[in-house]
Amino acid sequence: GTTLGASAAEKGRYFGTAVAAYKLSDATYVGILNREFNMVTPENEMKWDATEPSQNQFNYTNADRIVSHAQANGMRVRGHALAWHSQQPGWAQNLSGTALRQAMVNHITRVATHYKGKIYAWDVVNEAFADSGGVRRDSNLQRTGDDWIEVAFRTARAADPGAKLCYNDYNTDNWTWAKTQAVYNMVRDFKARGVPIDCVGLQSHFNSGSPYPGNYRTTLENFAALGVDVQITELDIEGSGTTQATTYGNVVKDCLAVSRCTGITVWGIRDSDSWRASGTPLLFDGNGNKKPAYTAVLDALNAG
């Protein structure tokens, strides 16, 4: 293939990017998006604060723009994210206990129902584990009870039985890290007890503090062996030039080596689109030109 999406498709995978609705009027941005990608993740537009700014009053305007653009251009959509401690609307931040639990369930039901049939995979729960210690992150949702995660998954399944349901997190790439083990144990437990979970998203924001680990493929393999798909959901890699390109290529090779690694999403198109205030972590430069990292990804997708 000659594009990321077409080359990934030849390997039975997708290649996606995070998309911001307000950039859909940027011709350079849309040109690259439509040419290269066949999966999109709304970067912020499906989050709780965006979709339910006041309790039980839903606003899908910006998320719908992205979904419509995707459908019109033959791209699928990863939904992000139904339940998360961050980017909650103020009213939810002020709730606790049963009221918060019921609000979470209502939110998941309403949003997943609105998008029923249009979402390839939902990040049902995002970032529920602490960065160290192998324990749950403290949050208002966690304080409603340990079962909030499985309740979220059961609620999402009921609302949209056709969507794959993912648990998504960062710093779960290195197999030896306690956070990785904690997520693995949760997924194993969910599979054993029949809690509906179909996939694990590894965000894969690689930088000096959490670099691409040599055991990344092992991590992908071990999650997949639990009977779930694995997806690389928010890939970006600190650095530049040949070093960055080599790491990007290695990530792609690792995914292709694991049959249940179903696709890769980068967290933005141009370096200037990145959530990172500084740095050059993506595949296209600020002018939309292909970087060495792009070529390394394309070559890895086309190898073999």
Q: Which residues bind ligand G3I (CB under 6 A)?
A: 43-44, 86-87, 126, 170, 203, 234, 275
The answer to whether the CB of 92 falls within 8 A of the CB of 54 is no
Residue for token pair 């050059």: 280
Pick between residue 44 and residue 240 the one whose CB is nearest to ligand G3I: 44
Q: Minimal distance in Å, beta carbon 194 to ligand G3I? A: 28
Q: Minimal distance in Å, beta carbon 154 to ligand G3I? A: 23
Q: Which residue is nearest to ligand G3I (CB)?
A: 275
Length reported for the chain: 304
- If one counts every other C-beta atom within 10 angstroms of the C-beta of residue 97, the result is 11
In single-letter form, the type of residue at position 264 comes to I
Pick between residue 5 and residue 42 the one whose CB is nearest to ligand G3I: 42
Mention every residue, 6+ apart, whose C-beta is less than 8 A from residue 151: 101, 104, 105
Q: Minimal distance in Å, beta carbon 275 to ligand G3I? A: 3
Produce one character per residue of 215-227: b if its CB has 16 or more CB atoms within 10 Å, e if not. Answer: bbbebbbbbbebe
Of 52, 127, 150, 234, which one is the catalytic site residue?
234
Long-range pairs of 239-248 with CB within 8 A, sequence gap ≥ 24? 239/280, 239/281, 240/280, 240/291, 241/292, 242/292, 244/280, 244/281, 244/291, 244/292, 244/293, 245/291, 245/292, 245/293, 245/295, 245/296, 246/296, 247/206, 247/212, 248/283, 248/293, 248/296, 248/297, 248/300
Pick between residue 126 and residue 244 the one whose CB is nearest to ligand G3I: 126
Mention every residue, 6+ apart, whose C-beta is less than 8 A from residue 99: none
Which of 66, 153, 63, 56 has its CA nearest to residue 99?
A: 56
Distance of alpha carbon 78 from alpha carbon 122, whole angstroms:
6
Residue 234: active-site member: yes
Pick between residue 11 and residue 107 the one whose CB is nearest to ligand G3I: 107
Q: Minimal distance in Å, beta carbon 52 to ligand G3I? A: 16
Pick between residue 128 and residue 301 the one whose CB is nearest to ligand G3I: 128
Q: Minimal distance in Å, beta carbon 161 to ligand G3I? A: 25
Q: Minimal distance in Å, beta carbon 234 to ligand G3I? A: 5
Catalytic positions? 234
